[in-house]
Amino acid sequence: MPKKFPEEFKRDVVAVARRGKIPIPEVAADFGVAEKTVRRWLHQADIDDGVKDGLTTTEQQEVVRLRRENRRLEMENEILRRAAAYFAKDALPK
């Protein structure tokens, strides 16, 4: 699982990278993160700021939350379906 960085740290890295005085590989090395990570944070910051189209960070978090809830509800429905089938077979007249 990727390492989690605080939002404030990400904002600082993006701010330094956006100034353009230092090349992105050097920014990445200075902050101790991968160059690809800095580029991804810049891309996401552009989306969050409305510069580029895409899902904002908030929207991505909502999608993840809804998918987890959907998965949980599907599991609950399957359990209830199996329980209903189990109890229905015992309730059949013989």
Residue 1, pLDDT above cutoff 90: no
Residue 94, pLDDT above cutoff 70: no
What type of residue sits at position 86? Y
With 0.75 as the threshold, say if the pTM is over it: no
Residue-wise pLDDT tens digits, 10-40:
999 999 999 999 999 999 999 999 999 999 9
Q: What's the per-residue H, E or C state across the chain? A: CCCCCCHHHHHHHHHHHHHCCCCHHHHHHHHCCCHHHHHHHHHHHHHHCCCCCCCCHHHHHHHHHHHHHHHHHHHHHHHHHHHHHHHHHHHCCC
* pLDDT above 70 coverage of the chain, percent: 97
Residue with tokens 């409305």: 50
What radius of gyration, in Å, describes the C-alpha atoms of the chain?
Answer: 24
